[in-house]
Amino acid sequence: MTSAAPAGKTILIVEDDDTTRQALGSALQDAGYTAVPVEDGRQALDWLWTHPAPDLILLDMMMPVLDGWLFLQLLKQQGPTIPTPIIIATAAAVSRELVRAHGCAGLVQKPIETAHLLQEIQRVLAAPESVS
């Protein structure tokens, strides 16, 4: 795999499973990103209100408290306006068309393979408006 993470890129990881959140954080940090882990959509919205926008959000869809779908809805309705691309991470059968329809830039299927995740992140950061 080629290309290292650009210096200073921050990724907000929204994932309720402790083991998955820690593994994603470690993989992203090993690749040179700054990983910011939160447990659910509510914590993610709170973080977005109080910090500079991350370069990318990796969003689990099935979480307690505030799931990914409601997070997207609330972010659009009342959240801070951010140009941050979002990659959906899910085990559910989700099409790229549905991802685009919800304003997201990428998709990774669970269980997440690190190499695929890093490729998707690099693709989205290079061209956040496209989902292929």
3, part of any domain: no
pTM of the predicted structure, to 2 decimals: 0.89
Q: How confident is the model at residue 6 (pLDDT cuts 50, 70, 90)?
A: low
Kindly tell me if the per-residue pLDDT of 33 is higher than 90. yes
- Domain extent, residue 36, equals 10-126
Check: CB of residue 126 under 8 Å from CB of residue 94.
no
46, part of any domain: yes
pLDDT digits (tens, 9 = 90+) for 107-123: 999 999 999 999 999 99
pLDDT digits (tens, 9 = 90+) for 64-122: 989 999 999 998 887 666 679 999 999 998 898 999 998 899 999 999 999 999 999 99
35, part of any domain: yes
Using alpha carbons, list the distances in angstroms from residue 112 to 21, 48, 119.
11, 24, 12
Total domains in the fold of the chain: 1
* CATH number of the domain bearing residue 93: 3.40.50.2300
32, part of any domain: yes
131, part of any domain: no
